[in-house]
Structure 1
């Protein structure tokens, strides 16, 4: 018995089956999945939740569909040109509009599998499993309604899974870093928040919500941010800071100065550090606080100023400033490309000495712990306590000029001047005294020399319960 005969017999068995309650449901599900409508609706539902992980999941799922659909429907079907099943044995009530295109592989199933697999890469199980079940139901409905043989569906599912995996080459998966909880929990943690002093930068609604959740906590709400953080740290047992990465970095400096545990409240635009901790919402932060779980993470420093994510110089501060304005709407990679072009337009490479070696530098990125991505675009970190700086530099090469620098930023090619290494410190002596340096999105001038170094496992932070 060959595979085609097995496929035909399996189709006949499904055609003869009568699943009570599903005779009208599955045909409607199959119709809803036409042209990806079902998955666009699911993606919209994930996006409106406001959770960054679910928005990323929706985006990755749609990218998977965009890759799988043309490969299956334009290339695969034209290569194999398999005829649709004979539907004499399929009850009339199930019959949906039978397409005239070739049968192998199933385009509906490819889109369903690509979307479900993409969602599973970015979202928690409670969101991924129902969507995976829905995708499986779509695949089965294609056989149940007489549109495809089971082999068509299996091939479509394999194609969709392959497309989802390809998305990882285009856009690395965002996963929290591995954080190791301390052996003890915080004795000062109370359900109502006594001993917690909260500083929220610029969001009154969040502050109002926190007053309801932690009625025993105190707030510092007036004055300049650094003054508020200093006042809060002097009287706190736990310092809670809400804002973007720059605000959280300033909060970390205050927590380090007064040897306090830090509770990170993600109310900024991008919140890279809190996402590395596995905290995506204020609710996640409160759950981490109530669990009492602490971890100690590394802190980077540039001339003594702490940073939690990364720092840099050359065109990097300008690229960061421009990219953050575009990233939320366009995504990281398109925003990076546009920002790099704009930053390169009116600039020249910086003449510096790096660890005693004179070089011309277009861009220098210094990460607090190793980032998993290749090239000069930071994505996620596997750990937050490796004791190292992740150094990535694009050196200027006379023959290549600005086009070569742009290509090196995007591709991370060593032939174009890109270099990467790990270090415990980095000493930079720029030829100009007014070199701009960025750290955690904040940009300021820095005195010469510039020293990047590490403080391993210095900062105690609340992390979600294992």
Structure 2
């Protein structure tokens, strides 16, 4: 039996007409007006941007779902509208198939195949469900309704919608290549047998940064959980009283500052994640105050590695090159534009103005666009390291992008776009216990844990194994 593309297409077209006739034959109802409104709301993915903004007000999987969903929409929209419609031109269903009341006021003129609305809807719903199944259960019916609305209003054939949904789901699944799903288990760490239970927070001093994150000041909740604890504002960080343990409620920059004092005083850390992203807390395995409170009551925890650069402690990452400039520009813009829009604007400006750095890395001279150093091995190995499966290796994760190759910046972006940066000759990845970097030319800034630090030419990075004790369930 010979396979015939033309024969398959005829059968698909016949089924499309049959299904379209069934939909057109539905009696008039309030559903007609609802489908038209829903279809228009999804124009240019506006509906999904609004849903993403709502999800982003939450934390953890909801916020990650919103970010992954927007990334998936970008891929799905480009694939469906720029590629699919160009390669597979197809006429839209005839307007007279439907009653006037069901038709959209503006009939699209682009190719019918595939459905861009369906692609974006499936991409967003699938991506959100990958991070948060609970949110996915709510969003999936809305996405399905958006996809059906394109048939109900007569602007797409059913096969257009099915193809668009497949493109969208594929785009969402493909985001895992650049941005793997978070680990359900906390990073491995060293055993800690010397922690003691702090009943009602007796002997605990907690440093609170009320300006971190998007939520309210966590001080009232901390005081309710540990009535005997001392709560100290971030402004008094340099004059902390004696304690049995130091606590910190804030973002990663605040956590790094308090962790440095905890290491110097040989005190365990009580971590209350209340920043925007809480990368360190997520990797350690602390999702909220309830986790920490249980560990403090039980007197259980672990020891984890920290890292230093020129004696400055950091818990997540340090970087040289464009990132410190991006942070500086973002801070100037975020009061006017908000943090995330300001970050996008800052990144665009830095990429446009970037100049390569000449530096010696462990004795070898290189021309580099950007150098990244992580506290512990990050995964994935490509452009966007997002998680640490281990905090007990005693290693630094070193990545840099070379600028001494022809078209290095273009090759860098293509490698990142295709998820194959680890195979590019412009990209280097090392895991070492220490690293020495000498910058040639004017002193440059270094950023640690998202904060821009002092300028310099010599940067000595060291991993400090089991440096910090931390309460963890």
TM-score (norm 1): 0.73
**Alpha-carbon spacing, 1:27–1:286, altered in 2? closer, same or farther (3 Å):** same
**Alpha-carbon spacing, 1:364–1:184, altered in 2? closer, same or farther (3 Å):** closer
Partner deviation per Cα, 1:286-317 (whole Å, 9 max, x = no partner): 12213427454321233554321123457765
State the match for 2:129 in structure 1: 120
Unaligned 5+ segments in structure 2 are 1-7, 416-420
State the match for 2:462 in structure 1: 453
Secondary structure (helix, strand or coil) at the match of 1:371 reads coil
Q: Does 1:241 align with 2:248?
A: yes
State the match for 1:139 in structure 2: 147
**CA distance in structure 2 between the partners assigned to 1:222 and 1:71 by the alignment:** 47
Q: Quick one: which of 340, 344, 347 aligns to 1:329?
A: 340
Secondary structure (helix, strand or coil) at the match of 2:377 reads coil
State the match for 1:4 in structure 2: 13
State the match for 1:61 in structure 2: 69
Unaligned 5+ segments in structure 1 are none
Secondary structure (helix, strand or coil) at the match of 2:217 reads helix
Q: Does 1:310 align with 2:317?
A: yes
Alignment of 1:170-185 (within 5 A): 172=179, 175=182, 178-180=185-187
**CA distance in structure 2 between the partners assigned to 1:313 and 1:27 by the alignment:** 51
**CA distance in structure 2 between the partners assigned to 1:431 and 1:69 by the alignment:** 44
Partner deviation per Cα, 1:29-65 (whole Å, 9 max, x = no partner): 3454345343243234334x25475455445434544
**CA distance in structure 1 between the partners assigned to 2:24 and 2:141 by the alignment:** 21
Secondary structure (helix, strand or coil) at the match of 1:241 reads strand
Return the offset for 1:249: 1.4
Secondary structure (helix, strand or coil) at the match of 1:220 reads strand
State the match for 1:389 in structure 2: 396
Alignment of 1:14-413 (within 5 A): 25-26=34-35, 28-47=37-56, 49=57, 51=59, 54-55=62-63, 57-69=65-77, 71-73=79-81, 76-77=84-85, 79-84=88-93, 95-97=102-104, 99=107, 101=109, 103-121=112-130, 123-144=131-152, 146-165=154-173, 172=179, 175=182, 178-180=185-187, 188=197, 193-201=201-209, 203=211, 205-221=217-233, 224-228=236-240, 231=241, 234-237=242-245, 239-268=246-275, 271-277=278-284, 284-292=287-295, 294-313=301-320, 321-322=328-329, 328-330=339-341, 335-336=346-347, 338-339=349-350, 344=355, 349-350=358-359, 352=360, 354-355=361-362, 357-360=363-366, 362=368, 363-372=370-379, 378-394=385-401, 397=404
Partner deviation per Cα, 1:121-178 (whole Å, 9 max, x = no partner): 5x42222221122101222344455554432221110122234356567x63573685
Contact in 2 for aligned 1:369/1:384 (Cα 8 Å): yes
Secondary structure (helix, strand or coil) at the match of 1:235 reads coil
TM-score (norm 2): 0.72
Cα RMSD (Å) of the superposition?
4.7
Return the offset for 1:366: 1.9
Pairs aligned (count)? 440
